[in-house]
């Protein structure tokens, strides 16, 4: 949510900033801007719209060649997308320019105070208050001034700051919003995420909250809020720059859908060793697991949907009661914690603000935290007692695909691991589940190839003008319906509702009329007959039914208009397969409707604000 870059070195800054912003555009794309500092002056260009608008404006208004600059791509929170609300923001005397990711919570109070002192404001943003405050408190020393500023601002922030008096310095700080420091040769960088650094360096520092960084061309110094120097460990990016490229696909989303078999392989295979699930390095002991009385799962969006599938699987295999909460609700509902409880936190980015806050709440109450995270070293990973990484690689498309399915695979492994620790898994059952897990990547690949053979694309073209869909299922299929519905909504802007199939007749069935598309997910063997009855109920009211079911369930074809088959699997793992045709269906519907698949309107990846 908002992308920040900053550069200080020997190269012309603008191309470096623009390339960095391009790779961070998934974090926000309603406006963008850059500022550079040269000859004791700051020059800024900003434009509403995605980066192409800024590119065009930069062609008209060429900036002087500079080797220091900051850039920003925005997801609006305070103030509509517009040129003036875009970052960087300046102080009134134009001494500093600043980019920000996060929210300054006490900005109204600070604004009133600064207005009393004669400051006037150009924009509606919370960010401009920080720029103005910086200038107001500025005493010639960048780090010292920032320390004073930070005593006054409350909220979440990653800031990049340049000052016309210090053309050899780039200043940054983070609190509750991500920021990395890239370490080059005679050049250094700040960025919200690794892809912005990859063309220049693979070495970086991960910043902790409240760490202030002063970057110069030939060195980086880090301080705490009292100004004491801090030593940091250098991390090294292990993945290749090409993973952040489209590699011939039209959109990252399709590339990432097709990457799922490999992502699952990387997530699962190192963890099945000699017929056992092995979570190397996790501190949860068998005794702790055996004494667990309750598990809380907290997450947002698709990660929350993964958690709902996880509840079915965990409760079935471990008999431990599981509560699944949306993180933004959990954190404000005064949740009840008890002895011997565990909180499983799920997040692809590891930076989602509400999920991080929910984690902190549970941790404060003394609950042990086990997180399932994709981004190594992210805030959620760092603040958890134990982390199990999904090795999905970077996910660039805003709509998650491989992030979600790898989260499911980790939840299955946790359930099996806990069930075994509790002595609840018979040997033959364990063997069967482990075999299924090992087959997950291969079977995922088969489903994806079958789905890409053209029939789903044709179905998408046939139905792309419809404005309402229902997606129904029971049990795990209902959880999968929620994720399927979100995929369709977020990228194609078609309204769709996921419904527990047995619940439709309690009101919502009144919305079904001639031709209403209903996608029925029918893979739970014990619930199949009941689901078939639910299909008949909607068919009787004119619905056009597309069923997703397992091979061999040919009788489903008798009640549905279209059938998509997925391979047979244990009931507990079917969510991993039935979501795949829906990812591909949503993708083709969005393409057919001319939507920007990777960057849907109003959205951004990594939601670092509440
Ligand atoms: C939907 C999607 C979002 C995220 C949610 C949580 O496709 O991507 O719903 O799942 O914003 O994000 P993470 O997993 O990064 O915490």
pLDDT digits (tens, 9 = 90+) for 556-579: 999 999 999 999 999 999 999 999
- Mean pLDDT, all residues of the chain: 95
Name the phi and psi angles at 526, rounded to 5. -75, -15
Which helix (H) or strand (E) segment is 380 a member of? helix 379-383
State the residue for tokens 């907290």. Answer: 298
Residue 244 clears pLDDT 80, i.e. is over it: no
Bond preceding residue 324 cis, omega within 30 of 0: no
Checking if the pLDDT of 242 tops 80, the result is no
Extract the tokens encoding 490.
């977020």
Residue 115 to residues 70, 91, 92, 312, 342, Cα–Cα distance (Å): 27, 13, 12, 55, 48
HSE value, Cβ hemisphere, 13 Å, CA-based, for 142: 27
Place of tokens 């103030």: 79
Question: Which 8-state DSSP code applies to residue 525?
Answer: G
Q: Of 22, 48, 164, 605, which one is the catalytic site residue?
A: 605
Which amino acids bring their CB within 6 angstroms of ligand 1?
Answer: 300-303, 347-349, 352, 355, 399-400, 486, 490, 606-607
User: Which is the closest atom of ligand 1 to the Cα of 305?
Assistant: 10
Which of 168-182, 241-255, 314-328, 495-509 is least confident?
A: 241-255
pLDDT at site 80: 87
507-538 pLDDT, tens digit each: 999 999 999 999 999 999 999 999 999 999 99
Does the fold of domain 455-592 match that of domain 3-243?
A: no
* Measured torsion, CA atoms of residues 64, 70, 76, 81, in degrees rounded to the nearest 10: 0
| Closest ligand 1 atom number to CA of residue 606 | 15
The residue assigned the tokens 């004791």 is 40
- The Cα angle at residue 303 between residues 302 and 309, in degrees rounded to 5: 90
Q: Is the pLDDT of residue 460 over 90?
A: yes
| Architecture label for domain 455-592 | 3-Layer(aba) Sandwich (3.40)
Q: Omega into 88 within 30° of 0, i.e. cis?
A: yes
Using CA atoms, how far apart are residues 343 and 296, in angstroms rounded to an integer? 5
Closest alpha carbon to 601 in 440, 400, 399, 466: 399
Report the residue among 1, 26, 297, 302 best suited for mutation to probe ligand 1: largest number of ligand atoms under 8 A from its CB.
302
User: Which residues on neighbouring strands pair with residue 359, listed in sequence order?
Assistant: none
- Residues with Cβ within 8 Å of 110's Cβ and at least 6 positions away in sequence, in order, are 104, 129, 133, 152, 153
Mean pLDDT value of segment 347-370: 97
Length of the chain: 610
Q: Domain 246-450: which CATH class?
A: alpha beta
Reported as a single tens digit per residue, the pLDDT across 133-181 is 999 999 999 999 999 999 999 999 999 999 999 999 999 999 989 999 9
Nearest to 162 by CA among 229, 82, 91, 59: 91
Q: How far apart are CA 561 and CA 556, in angstroms?
A: 10
Query: Using CA positions, which residue lies closest to atom 3 of ligand 1?
Result: 301
Q: In what order do the strands lie in the sheet with 211-216?
A: 89-90, 96-104, 155-163, 170-175, 211-216, 219-223
**What is the number of other CB atoms lying within 10 angstroms of the CB of residue 385?**
15
Q: Rounded to 5 degrees, what are φ and ψ at 254? A: -70, -40
pLDDT tens for 183-202 read 999 999 999 999 999 999 99
Helix-strand-coil percent breakdown of the chain, rounded to 5?
A: 40, 25, 35
Instruction: Please tell me which residue in 2, 163, 300, 451 is annotated as part of the active site.
Output: 2
**471 has which bridge partners?**
498, 519
Instruction: Show the 3-state SS of 79-125.
Output: CCCCCCCCCCEECCCCCEEEEEEEEECCHHHHHHHHHHCCCCCCCCC
Is residue 2 part of the annotated active site? The answer reads yes
Q: Which atom of ligand 1 is nearest to the CA of 302?
A: 10
Rounded Cα–Cα distance for residues 408 and 598 (Å): 22
User: Above 70 in pLDDT, residue 241?
Assistant: no
Q: Are 409 and 264 in contact (CB under 8 A)?
A: yes
Shortest-distance Cα residue to atom 10 of ligand 1 = 302
Q: What is the pLDDT of residue 75?
A: 86
Question: What is the predicted pLDDT for the residue at 606?
Answer: 75
- Report the alpha-carbon distance of residue 564 to residue 566 in Å, rounded: 7
Residue 77's pLDDT band, with cuts at 50, 70 and 90, is confident
- Whether 316 is catalytic is no
Q: What is the CA radius of gyration of the chain?
A: 25
CA of 324 to the centre of ligand 1 (A): 15
Structure-token pair, residue 526: 């014990």
Q: Which two tokens stand for residue 418?
A: 């806990």
- DSSP for residue 540: T
What average pLDDT does this structure show over 439-446?
Answer: 97
Residue 118 has, within 13 A of its CA and on its CB side, a CA count of 4
Residue nearest atom 1 of ligand 1, based on CA coordinates: 399
d(CA 201, CA 189) in angstroms, rounded, equals 9
Name the architecture of domain 3-243: 4-Layer Sandwich (3.60)
- Residue boundaries of the structural domains of the chain: 3-243, 246-450, 455-592
Of 1, 301, 330, 402, the one to substitute when testing ligand 1's pocket (max ligand atoms within 8 A of C-beta) is 301
Count Cα atoms within 13 angstroms, Cβ side, for 185: 1
Share of the chain above pLDDT 90, in %: 90
Tokens of 591: 């393409």
Which pLDDT score is estimated for 243?
72
Distance 412 CA to ligand 1 centre (A): 19
Phi-psi region of 493 (alpha: psi -120 to 50; beta: other; left: phi over 0): left
Q: Compute the average pLDDT of residues 398-421.
A: 98
Token reading at 586:
């949503």
Q: What are the tokens at 223?
A: 């301080």
Calpha distance 402→259 (Å, rounded): 7
Ligand 1: residue whose CA is nearest its atom 5: 301
- Let me know: does 360 contact 258? Beta carbons within 8 Å: no
- Alpha-carbon dihedral sign for residues 183, 189, 193, 198: negative
pLDDT above 90: residue 61? no
Please say whether the beta carbons of 171 and 212 come within 8 A: yes
Alpha helices in 235-375 (DSSP H): 252-258, 260-268, 286-290, 301-318, 327-330, 353-364
Nearest atom, ligand 1, residue 607 CA: 11
Q: What is the mean pLDDT of residues 212-240?
A: 94
Q: How far apart are CA 45 and CA 170, in angstroms?
A: 18
Q: Label residue 281 by pLDDT band (50, 70, 90).
A: confident
CB 425 within 8 A of CB 416: yes
Given a cut of 80, whether residue 373 has pLDDT beyond it is yes
Whether the predicted pLDDT of 79 surpasses 90: no
The encoded tokens of residue 487 equal 């995929």
State the pLDDT at residue 304. 98
Q: How far is the C-alpha of 350 from the C-alpha of 456, rounded, in Å? A: 33
Q: How many CB atoms lie within 10 A of CB 260?
A: 27
Confidence of residue 68 (pLDDT cuts 50, 70, 90): very high
**Nearest ligand 1 atom to alpha carbon 398:** 8
Residue closest to 149 by CA, chosen among 164, 129, 177: 129
Beta strand 341-347 pairing with 368-373 = parallel
């Amino acid at each position: 949510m908002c992308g920040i870059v900053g550069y200080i070195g020997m190269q012309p800054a603008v191309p470096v900033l623009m390339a960095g912003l391009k790779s961070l555009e998934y974090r926000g794309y309603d406006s963008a801007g850059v500022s550079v500092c040269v000859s004791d002056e700051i020059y800024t260009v900003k434009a509403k719209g995605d980066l192409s608008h800024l590119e065009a404006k930069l062609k008209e208004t060429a900036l002087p060649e500079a080797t220091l600059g900051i850039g920003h791509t925005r997801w609006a929170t305070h103030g509509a997308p517009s040129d003036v609300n875009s970052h960087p923001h300046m102080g009134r005397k134009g001494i500093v320019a600043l980019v920000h990711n996060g929210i300054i919570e006490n900005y109204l109070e600070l604004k009133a105070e600064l207005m009393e002192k004669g400051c006037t404001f150009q924009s509606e943003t919370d960010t401009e208050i920080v720029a103005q405050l910086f200038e107001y408190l500025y005493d010639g020393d960048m780090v010292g001034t920032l320390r004073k500023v930070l005593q006054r601002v409350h909220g979440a922030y990653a800031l990049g700051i340049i000052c016309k008096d210090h053309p050899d310095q780039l200043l940054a700080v983070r609190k509750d919003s991500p920021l990395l420091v890239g370490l080059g040769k005679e050049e250094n960088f700040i960025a919200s995420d690794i892809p912005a650094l990859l063309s220049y360096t693979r070495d970086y520092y991960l910043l902790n909250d409240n760490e202030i960084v002063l970057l110069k061309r030939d060195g980086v110094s880090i301080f705490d809020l009292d100004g004491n120097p801090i030593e940091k460990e250098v991390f090294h990016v292990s993945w290749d720059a090409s993973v952040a490229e489209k590699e011939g696909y039209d959109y990252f989303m399709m590339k990432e859908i097709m990457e799922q078999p490999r992502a699952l392989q990387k997530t699962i295979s190192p963890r099945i060793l000699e017929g056992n699930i092995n979570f190397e390095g996790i501190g949860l002991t068998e005794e702790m697991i055996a004494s667990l009385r309750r598990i809380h799962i907290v997450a947002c969006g698709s990660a929350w949907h993964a958690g709902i599938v996880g509840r079915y699987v965990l409760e079935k295999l471990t008999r431990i009661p599981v509560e699944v909460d949306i993180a933004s609700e959990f954190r404000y509902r005064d949740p009840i914690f008890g002895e011997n409880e565990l909180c499983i936190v799920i997040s692809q980015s590891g930076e989602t603000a509400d999920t991080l806050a929910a984690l902190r709440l549970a941790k404060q109450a003394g609950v042990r935290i086990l997180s399932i995270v994709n981004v190594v070293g992210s805030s959620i990973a760092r603040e958890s007692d134990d982390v199990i990484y999904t090795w999905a690689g970077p996910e660039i498309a805003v709509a998650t695909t491989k992030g979600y399915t790898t989260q499911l695979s980790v939840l299955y492994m946790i359930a099996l691991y806990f069930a075994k620790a509790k002595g609840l898994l018979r040997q033959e059952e364990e063997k069967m589940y482990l075999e299924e897990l090992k087959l997950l990547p291969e079977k995922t690949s088969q489903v994806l190839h079958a789905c890409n053979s053209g029939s789903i694309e044709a179905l998408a073209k046939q139905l792309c003008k419809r404005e309402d869909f229902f997606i129904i299922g029971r049990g795990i299929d209902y959880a999968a319906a929620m994720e399927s519905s979100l995929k369709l909504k977020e990228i194609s802007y078609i309204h769709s509702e996921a419904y527990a199939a047995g619940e439709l007749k309690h009101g919502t069935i009144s919305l079904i009329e001639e031709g209403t598309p209903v996608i029925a997910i029918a893979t739970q063997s014990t619930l199949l007959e009941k689901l078939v009855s639910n299909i008949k109920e909607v068919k009787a009211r004119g619905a056009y039914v597309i069923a997703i079911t397992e091979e061999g369930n040919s009788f489903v074809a008798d009640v549905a208009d279209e059938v998509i088959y997925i391979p047979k699997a244990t009931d507990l793992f079917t969510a991993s397969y039935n979501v795949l045709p829906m990812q591909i269906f949503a993708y083709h519907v969005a393409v057919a409707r001319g939507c920007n698949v990777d960057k849907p309107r109003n959205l951004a990846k990594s939601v670092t604000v509440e």
